[in-house]
Structure 1
């Protein structure tokens, strides 16, 4: 039995024994790091592990935002997407037509297309375990220690597919004493939530812990055709873990998790009417008349093992082993009408095995981390493109097998007491094998999706091909302490996102699709200042960046001229430049009142955008007519917090937050019918905590002005596709009451 098979068997045993659905893998931070973090918390210092070792947020020469569990609780943050309104220059959205698939962009770099085989541009890590696929990645926030957002390429330490940045979800370590926490919530749209977590030491060596979360909510709207809830939530999550400390220098953690998302399929709101029955523009943006159905299920699960050995005071060895798998069965109604004008029944499945070894060194003037990384993953799926007006269905199916190998090192050396130099590099090699099949059938749905009477008409694509991609991604930085409380830094880093194969590729319309597409490369230059002033009552962090972006992978889907098919191609469209500014701050005005803010500016422009014209069979440069998607030029947040002691030791905390985003585009081609104009969201939370801190009661209001804003869409305006211009919207005004008890 190899390592991958062993982890898969452990996953089956762990999730079966738990009889739970669970949230993503939770391993532990390094034992030495945990000690440093505990000491730091006692002084109010924010500690992060952005460079794979524990450091003060104000000392690390990286643009990083950190959010503690207490801060997230006070804001009533429900899931990862809430962070986009508090961290600058970041977009985290629920993918169009999805309930739990994550779309992430940082500083204009990301990936909107969640189809199997495509690589994300922002890396997601749960306790140092890389989550390769976006399905099931909209993580609910519970039992978390902190979340870190690293902006800019993180290719040296975090590797492939972190060219935009990385998001680190860090869970809590088990305690040395038994503890338990229960949280219940009830809110608008009949929202009902239950979160239970706890851990207990069995003896001086072994501790066990777990968490269970149940999220239920009616829909913000209705499917007016079927009567089903639309934009509802039905999720069960959980986690089991065992920590073993046979000596003070050795630590092991094994964790298993699973998430079941049975929320109904999410369909779009028609932004444009047509002559089709049921295609009028509905008054409520959360309503639909989709006829494809409401079934949807997403299951993700995983197991991980972390081992740490403190060889001596200076050297630690770490091993992180993990296996994950997922399955999505869904129906997407692109036209959002009762008729099958443009319907997409689909399933996705994936699995991944990862192994990472690290050596960490901490000396008087030298700090270093080096390691090896291996990934063995498969992503596969199938879907029909049902063109009801032509009585045709296009079956697309395939898979991509990926093996990724990497070696990395990052060294920081204190040249003087104030000047430090950091050097790093990572070599990555990806080996991929893609299989793509595409065929046209006469009839509504193909045999794969329930129509055995469909008549095979034409094979469009059928190939298997291998490609390999490799890149060295260096990083160099200098940081200087102007004073004990003011640090400046400059850095250069390179990011690499792997190439691949277009799973929708039509070899008849675009024969070159069998060659696949090349990697993306980002060269990023950054300068920043981090300072604390007035006895640390004022904190200011500033960053300016410039990025040279080459080979950007863009998915384009257009009608084939004869009107019987849709051609898809993924092109390395050319090059672009991105520059911007970021400012984050916090000021303690009085012991009871504080304010925090974040402002981001991104200026992104294509220098070259090569578009394949199906008519002329030529590439043409259309850079002047293309825009960046999911990248507002301006974004910002202002949060005001007031805490009052009620006299008996209990406290009440009022948190008001206003987030602003300027207009942004859904795709590379501007669309006035879909693109979102500037908007602001206003949130308000009121939390009471008992003197013992065992009881906590809160009321959290989100989007208090009930702003309607788009977070995604589909744009198929042709008559053959029913003029299907549909949009997906962010949550409306909601109010949630919470009660929490700890002991």
Structure 2
């Protein structure tokens, strides 16, 4: 698209209304509770983005994932296994992978209750009054693991007036949404609110496999019941129960975005002076290998060296299909086809339940006590074909590993020619070993293997590269006690916090059908945490105020490994062949040869219901590990009021995130779990907040620097065919950044807002990979990000208005992961550690528009109808990707949402 088009749209709208008479008005005041008491956003010395109920509705924010393109300085991605799990990155500090063994860096709080994990944390949230995004470490009041920031979701309280709100939405891709809220006050002191929502959308993207559904659908519902009771003049009780469901939503679309070089091609690249720490992934070597093997098989069949079987022609057809597919990947790396590929029905189900109880008791006019209890459970189940390829026989392609193995078997190059029984090793025996102990293995076994592989693939209708069946069960419970007080010059709060959680993850991974075998990287994980905290603000004069806060954290983490591994399919098959050849070689004359049973499919199970058929991993299954952590963090703030409308602040804040264990990695040398330690951060920030021109102009700005040590870096790890995301420390980086937020009420009917964020992040240290010095990228953090919003009341008459909102946001290009290390191995050859390059997530300019008609009736009822469009220029851009490493040999990527449009209707009765 033309990069100037968003500005052109805004400029045209501005010129259309600048002739309007300027009338006195003021920007709306925003009230936040970032410091545990209500205060104006402008008076709070923290960098905050506050989204009102109107903002949430107009921007189409239903869950965490929707905020990524809506808030400048906040980035992230949805899990490849579905949009119900979201990882945030705030000011360059990321959550890490969404899984229940990892704590997020951006603390999420729903009505004051901390949400412990990213996994399953993005259901639709009903009845929000506002969202507060606190940027930077929150070392005192929101101190639990909030190193990048905190996101507070504040629900609407039950009203003291009877009311009914109905909302409905229809849009393209079969979008249908509706919600109902009823406020029912039973008395002046007891109020209730009941809410229900349902949201559905067809897939964004088709599937090239005609037998499988597409990608990125929505199917969600939920409800919330809230009670507010003024038990006495001093005691209030608030309770809510909420339940949300994600019902079989189809997987996020993962599209292949590059091919890694083969071992031989990597050697040639390095011999020519290539950079071992930045290996390109546009290699044609795997294509050339398949072509060479297929050409050899075709010639052998032509000259009668292979029998005229239909499997030969099928193999050649498979090879041609792979070559065409792989060339298409390389030729269209930056193209968006609007369709993806898979070979299983992928889906995600998530159920969240939450109980929240808040007690407020006023000891006096100056001192109050608040108690917050939270109990949450999450259960999810996902079936995911994460390779982004249709590997079915009927409509897809074979993997190059499968084709290389079948082709090699046709030429007798897979099963060893000899085996030494004396040393139990492949190859010839040492000189002097008696002849019977060296067994020659006939080439007929190789041919049998090739036909067996093809038969198994045909019977299974595919050779899926990688799919997983995963389930999580997670529960958490927390208690928080706060005592708040105020005098003429001092505000203070002290508190105690107690936390406990427990979770179980079980999965079945099925990689490279007929080659590997099923595995599970399950675990039980949990822990507890206790904190004591306090913060005081002293208003020394009309000009100066000072804040000091401190928090002590003590935590325990534990993990029990529940790993399972079946032997590799082809390895077991070859082992059975060697056993058969060895046994028959030692049979006396005249004894019929024996046949050792062998199968290429017994190593695979269908899913979680058959997980017990996967053997427990010796020395790992049941291994228990425990770690303790403690930390003291806090903040110091000095605030200076230049006048009633402008203030400046400077703050020094520290924060930390506890360590833990990697469920997908185990230290077999020590027989203990793979652990990582806590990370710490120190932040210095200076900021300005001002309201100018009689309240018609707001200018907020902040500059910050970070020192971040023992950074928890997420890496993708492969182990014996199993794939997992693990965390390592030994990294540190420095960050500086600038944020600017300007709002201008140009007339009483026209308002503009501009936001800008600049982030410069440099790693001072980064974990070496097998001695390889990797220069990491900034990951998903863009250098520059900005947004422009215009709100124009085009027409007003009586109680009716017509409003137009146009917004655009720009994000510089990024890459998905800081580094992609891998270790190349080949039989009889030295291993080669590398860092693989990554396709960029393209810079993007997204434009949204909304036209709203609102009318207030004489009876107090209200009707609101809005036409809306998001990404109306249909910008195409990658959002997040990862690489499967040297063995599977390619990378995949997700893409952003296409253009969507629809109509909202709201009735307030």
* TM-score (normalised: structure 1): 0.89
Establish whether residue 255 from structure 1 lines up as the match of residue 307 from structure 2. Answer: no
Measure how far apart 1:447 and its partner are: 7.9
Distance 1:593 1:672 in 2: 46
- Provide the residue aligned with 1:341 in structure 2: 465
Of residues 593, 608, 612 in structure 1, which corresponds to 2:750?
Answer: 593
Of residues 657, 662, 675 in structure 1, which corresponds to 2:840?
Answer: 675
337-346 vs 54-63, greater mean Cα deviation: 337-346
Relative to structure 1, the CA distance from residue 567 to residue 728 in structure 2 (aligned partners, 3 Å threshold; closer, same or farther) is: closer
Establish whether residue 626 from structure 1 lines up as the match of residue 792 from structure 2. Answer: no
Of residues 90, 107, 113 in structure 1, which corresponds to 2:97?
Answer: 113
Of residues 661, 669, 678 in structure 1, which corresponds to 2:811?
Answer: 661
667-676 vs 394-403, greater mean Cα deviation: 667-676
Relative to structure 1, the CA distance from residue 347 to residue 483 in structure 2 (aligned partners, 3 Å threshold; closer, same or farther) is: same
Measure how far apart 1:454 and its partner are: 5.4
* CA deviation vs aligned residue, 1:139-188 (integer Å, no higher than 9, x gap): 53642211111000012101221000011111111111101100011000
Secondary structure in 1 aligned to 2:102?
Answer: coil
Of residues 521, 525, 535 in structure 2, which corresponds to 1:410?
Answer: 535
Relative to structure 1, the CA distance from residue 496 to residue 507 in structure 2 (aligned partners, 3 Å threshold; closer, same or farther) is: same
* CA deviation vs aligned residue, 1:284-341 (integer Å, no higher than 9, x gap): 5553221232232111111111110122211111010110001111022221223321
Distance 1:742 1:596 in 2: 28
Q: Which residues in structure 2 correspond to 1:188-587 (within 5 Å)? A: 188-225=172-209, 226-262=211-247, 263-272=249-258, 281=329, 285-337=337-389, 338=391, 339-389=463-513, 390-442=515-567, 443=602, 445-446=604-605, 449-451=608-610, 456=615, 459=618, 461-462=620-621, 463-508=623-668, 511=670, 514=673, 516-559=675-718, 564=721, 569-587=726-744
Secondary structure in 1 aligned to 2:67?
Answer: helix
Relative to structure 1, the CA distance from residue 602 to residue 621 in structure 2 (aligned partners, 3 Å threshold; closer, same or farther) is: farther
Relative to structure 1, the CA distance from residue 402 to residue 650 in structure 2 (aligned partners, 3 Å threshold; closer, same or farther) is: same
Relative to structure 1, the CA distance from residue 420 to residue 216 in structure 2 (aligned partners, 3 Å threshold; closer, same or farther) is: same
Relative to structure 1, the CA distance from residue 604 to residue 511 in structure 2 (aligned partners, 3 Å threshold; closer, same or farther) is: farther
Q: Comparing both structures, which one devotes a greater share of its residues to strand?
A: 1
- Provide the residue aligned with 2:582 in structure 1: none
5+ residue gaps, structure 2, are: 1-24, 260-286, 288-318, 392-462, 568-601, 821-835
Relative to structure 1, the CA distance from residue 737 to residue 672 in structure 2 (aligned partners, 3 Å threshold; closer, same or farther) is: farther
* TM-score (normalised: structure 2): 0.73
Distance 1:627 1:658 in 2: 26
Relative to structure 1, the CA distance from residue 78 to residue 205 in structure 2 (aligned partners, 3 Å threshold; closer, same or farther) is: closer
* CA deviation vs aligned residue, 1:335-376 (integer Å, no higher than 9, x gap): 122332122211111000011001111211000111111111
Measure how far apart 1:679 and its partner are: 0.9
Secondary structure in 2 aligned to 1:70?
Answer: helix
Measure how far apart 1:417 and its partner are: 1.3
Establish whether residue 741 from structure 1 lines up as the match of residue 793 from structure 2. Answer: no
Establish whether residue 58 from structure 1 lines up as the match of residue 42 from structure 2. Answer: yes
5+ residue gaps, structure 1, are: 1-40, 614-619
Larger radius of gyration: 2
Secondary structure in 1 aligned to 2:663?
Answer: coil
Secondary structure in 1 aligned to 2:893?
Answer: strand
Relative to structure 1, the CA distance from residue 457 to residue 501 in structure 2 (aligned partners, 3 Å threshold; closer, same or farther) is: closer
Distance 1:164 1:249 in 2: 37
Contact kept in structure 2, 1:475 and 1:492, CA below 8 Å: yes
Distance 1:92 1:64 in 2: 18
- Provide the residue aligned with 2:792 in structure 1: 642
Measure how far apart 1:388 and its partner are: 1.7
Measure how far apart 1:446 and its partner are: 4.7
Distance 2:793 2:376 in 1: 42
Q: Comparing both structures, which one devotes a greater share of its residues to helix?
A: 2
Relative to structure 1, the CA distance from residue 654 to residue 448 in structure 2 (aligned partners, 3 Å threshold; closer, same or farther) is: closer
Measure how far apart 1:189 and its partner are: 0.3
* CA deviation vs aligned residue, 1:638-660 (integer Å, no higher than 9, x gap): 00110133323200110000000
Of residues 157, 169, 172 in structure 1, which corresponds to 2:153?
Answer: 169
Measure how far apart 1:444 and its partner are: 5.3
